[in-house]
Structure 1
Amino acid sequence: SGRELLEQAPELGPDVVLLDANLQDVDSIVVCRRLRLHRAVSWHTPVIMITSTPATKQQRLAALEAGAWDYLSLGLNAEELLLKVDAFTRVKLETDHVLEEDTEPESGLYTKRGLERRARELVSDAFRRHAPLACVALSVEADATASPVVVDVASRLLQASGRASDAIGRAASGEFLVLAPSTAPPGAAHMARRLSQAIERGPRPAGLPPLEVRAGFEAVVDLHETPLDPASLLGHASVALGRARSAGNGSRIQRYQA
């Protein structure tokens, strides 16, 4: 059932999910969206929805928007289905191997190397599609003695608040960076505020003082019209964050200005 999948997926860690598009207990589109939003499965875990009726364009689009990799009708040849599952699974397993080197084992956040790799992928994709792209940098201001606890708390709150499409990681300097595909400047500013509030207002261990977040961001409306290389995207967000941190009582969120 849909509820069982949502409950068991985080513990089972499946390599691929075949989802009945006509679940009896929960709408399958809702199940797929919750799997992605609540990170019950990793962002690169294939979810394939299968319907016993002919698939309409609207159904396919809704499934893809919810995070499915494909929406298939049972009229599909069984051999073709097996080949698709095999191909999707191989992509997932290869990505797992790459992420072992590009993510922190304990937090699951991207490392500096992982962020740079993901930035190259997203910049290339946005350039090809004439799409917007943003990067938000965040710094949690806290007493140095509380630093390890703060990092753990902020990491968990960011991952819980981020979108399934976001790539969240830590730079060498300790700041958090969020690569946000399909996000124009207004959306990036909103994301910076939302993530800052998620950390500042989120639950924290007893004895940990209130956290204050500063944020900076870089965002372009059309990466093809305004080309930006991956290193500059990450660097500009960090520069904007530096200005926010030095602003004193000024704006705690700054957009990059050349």
Structure 2
Amino acid sequence: MSNADEPAMLDSAGAGRHPIVLIASHQESSSRSLESILGPNGYTVVKAYTAAQTLERARRAQPDAIILDATLPDQDPLEICRALRHDPEFAPDTPIIIVSSDHATRQQRIDALRAGAWEYLGQPLDAEHLLLKLETFTRVKRAADRAREDGLVDPATGLYNLSGLARRARELGAQASRLNGALACVALAPDFGDNGPGSEPTEAVLEAVVAQLAGAFRAAGRVSDAIGRLGPTEFAVVASGTDAGGAVRLAERLANAVTEGRGDSLSALSASGAQAGAGARFRLRAGYYVVPDARAPAADPADTILGAASALRLARAEPGGPWIRAFPGGLEAQS
């Protein structure tokens, strides 16, 4: 078992090292209890006892996951989550798990997800459940680290770039093929057309919108989804085991995530637009492409990205048309 209160000597780069988990709790008994679960299962434990220590050690140790005590006295754990998610020195794909000393309510879970946490666990804490979550989460984190090292990640958002998304699409396509399932891609982008002539968004507005969309899509996506940035304001999500109806539901979930924090709904987003952080309104447009059977010999999973991007262009070209379009000749979702 490995543990360290000071992370300065930890090797955060080697792929063969033990996964690093930062435990942030002011209660030594809670930290030791978690350490007794993680250590024997191959995790290196780093401890922090305050919010300030948590932020500092998260930057220095670059952990593969953070377990955050919901009762930290010096700062709300949701604020710590938000601070980490906006910290350019902190890897955006790092899983954050908040652990409560009480039963977890639905609202607490939702609030945690909105703040950037991946999970909110209440009592009683199931050790096996926690270990399975960590195994999945750290595997995703390390895959993202490798992609970043290989130049497959968009540096501005921490999401996959087009090359990275195409690689992940082929991996998800292979998974869907083994399961005799479908593979889908949903592409999304903001439409600023309602701001009137001569009111093109400034660079600052575009940066604010891109940050808003990237954060919302990351929070709303499943761990198994591959999320990427296709262009300056275009994004795409590739999902295994997702048919046409599932693609539309995925698009709706992503769209709602953009406006949930403001109390808006998908209907409001489609009808009157969402307010960007820098003051411009936009509507979200989407397109999707579905490969019904990933085993088909001619099916190239990366083509789902191109098909969804083409459908998105059609949706953006029809200001008065539906907010989401299927790829022409593809499968339309049945309402």
Please tell me the residue identity of whatever aligns with 2:201. Answer: A
Please tell me the residue identity of whatever aligns with 2:169. Answer: A
Q: Which residue number corresponds to residue 122 of structure 1?
A: 172
User: 1:247 Cα deviation (Å)?
Assistant: 2.1
Q: Which residue number corresponds to residue 193 of structure 1?
A: 252
Q: Which residue number corresponds to residue 157 of structure 2?
A: 107
Q: Distance in 1 between matches of 2:250 and 2:139?
A: 33
Q: Distance in 2 between matches of 1:212 and 1:163?
A: 23
SS in 1 for 2:188: strand
Q: Distance in 2 between matches of 1:139 and 1:243?
A: 12
Q: Which residue number corresponds to residue 295 of structure 2?
A: 224
Check if 1:15 corresponds to 2:58.
no
Query: Size of the alignment, in residue pairs?
Result: 214
Q: Distance in 2 between matches of 1:138 and 1:24?
A: 35
Which of 129, 135, 147 aligns to 1:98? It is 147
The verdict on how the C-alpha distance between 1:202 and 1:219 changes in structure 2, with shifts beyond 3 A counting, is: farther
Q: Distance in 2 between matches of 1:109 and 1:224?
A: 27
Larger RCO, structure (CA 8 Å, separation 6 or more):
1
Which of 277, 280, 303 aligns to 1:209? It is 280
TM-score by length of 2: 0.52
User: 1:110 Cα deviation (Å)?
Assistant: 0.8
User: 1:3 Cα deviation (Å)?
Assistant: 9.1
Which of 193, 196, 201 aligns to 1:144? It is 201
Unaligned 5+ segments in structure 2 are 1-22, 26-30, 32-50, 68-98, 120-125, 193-199, 263-274, 330-335
1:150-165 equivalences under 5 Å are 150-165=209-224
Check if 1:168 corresponds to 2:219.
no
Give the helix-richer structure, 1 or 2: 1
The answer to whether the Cα contact below 8 Å between 1:199 and 1:211 also exists between their aligned partners in 2 is no
Check if 1:237 corresponds to 2:296.
no
Q: Distance in 1 between matches of 2:287 and 2:327?
A: 7
Please tell me the residue identity of whatever aligns with 1:218. Answer: Y
Q: Distance in 2 between matches of 1:89 and 1:194?
A: 24
Q: Distance in 2 between matches of 1:24 and 1:210?
A: 37
The verdict on how the C-alpha distance between 1:119 and 1:207 changes in structure 2, with shifts beyond 3 A counting, is: closer
Q: Distance in 2 between matches of 1:240 and 1:131?
A: 22
- Sequence identity of aligned pairs in percent? 34
TM-score by length of 1: 0.66
Q: Distance in 1 between matches of 2:100 and 2:318?
A: 54
Cα displacement string for residues 41-63 of structure 1 (whole angstroms, at most 9, x for unaligned residues): 69xxxxxx855xxxxxxx8xx98
- RMSD of aligned alpha carbons: 4.0
The answer to whether the Cα contact below 8 Å between 2:294 and 2:301 also exists between their aligned partners in 1 is no
Runs of 4 or more above 6 Å deviation? 7-10, 88-92
The answer to whether the Cα contact below 8 Å between 1:3 and 1:26 also exists between their aligned partners in 2 is no
Cα displacement string for residues 129-176 of structure 1 (whole angstroms, at most 9, x for unaligned residues): 212221000011133312222112211222122222221111136411
Q: Distance in 2 between matches of 1:198 and 1:90?
A: 25
The answer to whether the Cα contact below 8 Å between 1:138 and 1:213 also exists between their aligned partners in 2 is yes
The verdict on how the C-alpha distance between 1:134 and 1:109 changes in structure 2, with shifts beyond 3 A counting, is: same
Check if 1:184 corresponds to 2:243.
yes
User: 1:115 Cα deviation (Å)?
Assistant: 0.6
Q: Which residue number corresponds to residue 35 of structure 2?
A: none
